[in-house]
Structure 1
Amino acid sequence: MSYMTKDPSGTLASALAGQINKNGYAVIEDYVDLAELRDAQAFVVKSIADNNGGYVGFSGTERLGNTFLADLPKNPNFLALCHGIYESEVGKPAPNVGFYQILRCLSGGAAKKHSMRFHFDSYVLTALIPITVPDHGNPGRLIIHPNSRGIRRTYLRNLVDKVLVDNRLSQALFNALYRRGSKRVIRLSLKPGNLYFFWGYRSLHTNEPCDADAIRATALLHYADPHADSWIKQKLRRH
């Protein structure tokens, strides 16, 4: 299956939304064509090598070369799928906005620094495509406390949530629950080329660290900030 997947009736989108609510995530297997995936993997390897083997992050599509990731956010079928998932869950028309897209390439000593920090996304829907995952040691699984909160009515309430999460005590508690093997925590092994969806805004999540000599690269496309029009958020961004 390629990222040209069509869903004219919205049946797939509705089913995926249901799976996210039931299981904490949904997945489309082998979403990316193998040749396109290999091109993206080569891009990641070169980018890390150019950075002396250390962590590399890309925001947006401008520096993603000729990889499929540069075109995916504008692909009408991918857009329609994300819009359909959003509408199935929220019950409102999908906003006509773009994605906040990042490509995270974990490697080297900094890989641990960018791992095991539990957080909520600022966007309702998160689409994740693994590009490369470690083939030895810790595979860098995705860790999810699924659907931990609802969509807050105000940005201020959302901000309170984030403050309560982003502190040493809370992070220590979340990490302790993870180490104790809480059944509430999903430990999801990722397969390159698959497409995963989860409610990033509602689900507390992070990733496990990978070994310093391994590479864990994931593309994340975030959709629909429910507080985009908040004047408080806009004012804080100016300062």
Structure 2
Amino acid sequence: MSKALALEITSKGYAVVEDYVGPDDLRMAQAFVFDAVTANGGEYIGFAGTQDLGDTFLASLPADPDFVALCRNIYESAIGQPAPDVGFYQILRCLSGGSAKKHSMRFHFDSYILTALIPITVPDHGNPGRLAIHPNTRDIRRTYLGNLIDKVLVDNRLSQALFNWAYHRGSKRVVRLSLKPGSLYLFWGYRSLHTNEPCDADAIRATALLHYADPHADSWIKQRLRRH
């Protein structure tokens, strides 16, 4: 299964495992998201790590043996090297309210090779906040400096304006995915330029993101920059 998923990610830009999360676990996570957004005045809220996720499945997913094995096997199938014995960098993003637009349509590369995305809730009206992926735009850089240059070239007003212009012109090189809550979406976040469409202010779009394997984790330059 992992080899087939890795091949699909590379050839198509993404892979999907339908209904990966059970209905009871999904409902509990959806209730958590609704309460969190409500408590924050209906505006965007995000959670890094697992410590504040209560009893939801998201609190234990990064240590789930089946999930860990799936991600490591996908990595090994694609990279051809043993998977690093590292954990996940996890984020739960809950877009809602007027601030949702600020967290949308910002094309970027992830710092980690594999990105696993699980939609918790998506809008049932208006703009559903599709995931937009420009698959496999770059190779894995040999150095952190090369990766940093890529990010500087992408994360500026001119580049973002050009990416958005091409996107709204209907560029056929971009995959636009409507997300289904509870399914698991996998793509090479490090290699693929990607973003999310905005959702309406009165809706909630919540996605869990688990990032695996930073190829520059041991970079001296990266460690020095983090200290400053």
Letter in 1 for 2:121: T
- Residue 210 of structure 2 is matched in structure 1 by 221
Q: Is the aligned partner of 1:129 residue 2:129?
A: no
1:82 to 68, 71, 82: 71
- Offset at 1:22? 1.1
CA distance in 2, matches of 1:51, 1:111: 13
Q: 1:71 aligns with which of 60, 66, 71?
A: 60
Correspondence for 2:137 among 148, 152, 162: 148
Distance 1:148 1:13 in 2: 22
Output one character per residue of 1:67-104: Cα deviation in whole Å (capped at 9) or x when no partner.
00001000011000000000011111000000000000
Instruction: Tell me which amino acid in the other structure corresponds to 2:158.
Output: L
| Residue aligning to 2:166 | 177
TM-score by length of 2: 1.00
Given candidates 55, 62, 65, the residue that maps to 2:51 is: 62
Calculate the TM-score normalised by the size of structure 1: 0.95
- Paired residue for 1:14? 3
From 27, 40, 50, give the equivalent of 2:29.
40
SS in 1 for 2:103: coil
Q: 1:39 deviation in Å?
A: 0.3
How many angstroms does 1:164 deviate by? 0.2
1:204 aligns with 2:225: no
- The residue that corresponds to 2:182 in the other structure is 193
Off by >4 Å, runs of 4+ in structure 1: none
Cα RMSD after superposing both structures:
0.4
Q: Percent identity?
A: 77
Give 2:217's aligned amino acid: A
Q: 1:57, 1:231 → 2: CA distance?
A: 29
The code of the aligned residue for 2:16 comes to V
Distance 2:207 2:64 in 1: 19
Per-residue deviation, residues 120-161 of structure 1 (Å, max 9, x unmatched): 000000000000000000000000000000000000000000
Unaligned runs of 5+ in 2: none
Task: Find the residue that maps to 1:94 and give its secondary structure.
Answer: coil
- 2:108 — aligned with what? 119
Contiguous gaps of at least 5 residues in structure 1: 1-11
Residue 97 in 1 paired to residue 63 in 2?
no
